[in-house]
Amino acid sequence: MLNRLLSIALLVMTVSVTGVWAQEIDRSSTGGAQNLADILARQNAQKVDNSFRSDATGDPSIAAPTTENLGTLGGQSDPELWRALRFGSADVTVSSGGRVAEVIMQDTGSAWLQFREGPLLSYGAYILGGTLLALLVFYLLRGPVKVDEPFTGRTVTRFKAVERFAHWLLASSFIALGLTGLLVLFGRLYIAPLLGKETNALLLEYSKLVHNSIGWAFMLALVMIFVFWVAHNLPDKTDIKWFAQFGGIVGKNHPPAKKFNGGQKIIFWSVIVFGSVISLTGVSLLFPYEVPIFAQFNPLMNQLGLAELIWGNTLPEAPLPHQEMQAAQMMHTGAALVLMAIIVAHIYIGTVGMQGAYDAMGSGEVDEAWAHQHHSLWLEEVKEKEGAAPKSATPAE
């Protein structure tokens, strides 16, 4: 208990230290303009309220008075114009190119690039590497989950051909998208130094081609599995019992389960939620500047208070076209990395981690002993239905 309280306190402290706001900064020496304290606060990773700059554009009444240092002589000044360009409030008109071309300057690109080359790569590598390592350790300690009773030789149909088609379309497209996506993300860092820039460039060219074309197959399969399996994945009270007994994966108990157990429901909903985020942001990236999604998403996240909770800050309510693309890239890749880690664990259970599991998606038929151990309630349902309408009724003589 004490340990738990200490960890919570540590977490709260970490969050408050990293997300701390700079104290009120005195800007009287510069007539209200940015000064050394602002720069130092930013260097110390403190958050600085930029409104003193973003609002100081084009309003003579808030311009620094002529009597102050750096006063603007009462009218609009060059810095005001640059600030307006910098914060996207300048009245720019272009003859072609639309809203994108109206953005003359935007500095969020630097923050985005730093994130893409820094935390996204390192956390991505930790998530994937950590999951693979954890599975290896689990396999060495626990070994595969075996079927306790001898196989009966009698089988029941677990997935129809069309369900297996949807699953394998989803699986093959996801694996192809995952591998090509990883090449695009990590290629410059690992492939170029190892195999040379030319090889990396060639791999990237084909990766992009494959990645941009296969996304549609993934989306189609996502819709198919949603329609086929959503009814079986609604949470119910059998899941509580299943989780309480760690799904029989740890220990020797085999809690009763319907068609999908609690763990599988988590996999299903992860695939649906993360898969939808990946699909939506992917379409936005595929048609640059034409499918803006964050102009709707950000205000909603702000209103619900979720932006503050997750990012510690509100999100821009009217993001610039470039910010749309940056946000789409970050969410696309972040969600894909998390889903890849989840799916690696899923592939482990579906192959080496559980005896007899693969057959369910291979031939679609599972042995009754396996079905009884892992999905006893579902087997009862199937048996009842078979009793009501026998599979192969003997024709009357």
Where on the chain is the footprint of ligand HEM (CB under 6 A)? 158, 167, 170-171, 174-175, 225, 260, 264, 267-268, 271, 343, 346-347, 350-351, 357-358, 360-361
328 or 357: CB nearest ligand HEM = 357
346 or 372: CB nearest ligand HEM = 346
**DSSP string spanning 127-178?**
HHHHHHHHHHHHHHHH-PBPPSSPP-S-EEE-S-HHHHHHHHHHHHHHHHHH
- In the complex, minimum distance from the CB of residue 139 to ligand HEM, in angstroms, rounded to a whole number: 15
231 or 388: CB nearest ligand HEM = 231
Q: Which pairs with CB-CB distance under 8 Å and at least 24 residues apart come from 163-167?
A: 163/225, 163/228, 163/229, 163/364, 164/361, 164/364, 166/221, 166/224, 166/225, 166/228, 167/221, 167/225, 167/361
Q: Which pairs with CB-CB distance under 8 Å and at least 24 residues apart come from 83-88?
A: 83/53, 83/54, 83/56, 83/57, 84/57, 84/58, 86/53, 87/50, 87/53, 87/54, 87/57, 88/320
- In the complex, minimum distance from the CB of residue 174 to ligand HEM, in angstroms, rounded to a whole number: 4
- In the complex, minimum distance from the CB of residue 169 to ligand HEM, in angstroms, rounded to a whole number: 10
131 or 298: CB nearest ligand HEM = 131
The residue number with the shortest CB distance to ligand HEM is 350
- In the complex, minimum distance from the CB of residue 22 to ligand HEM, in angstroms, rounded to a whole number: 43
- Judging by beta carbons within 10 Å of its beta carbon (0-12, 13-18, 19+), is residue 14 exposed, middle or buried? exposed
268 or 294: CB nearest ligand HEM = 268
- In the complex, minimum distance from the CB of residue 165 to ligand HEM, in angstroms, rounded to a whole number: 13
25 or 217: CB nearest ligand HEM = 217
- In the complex, minimum distance from the CB of residue 357 to ligand HEM, in angstroms, rounded to a whole number: 5
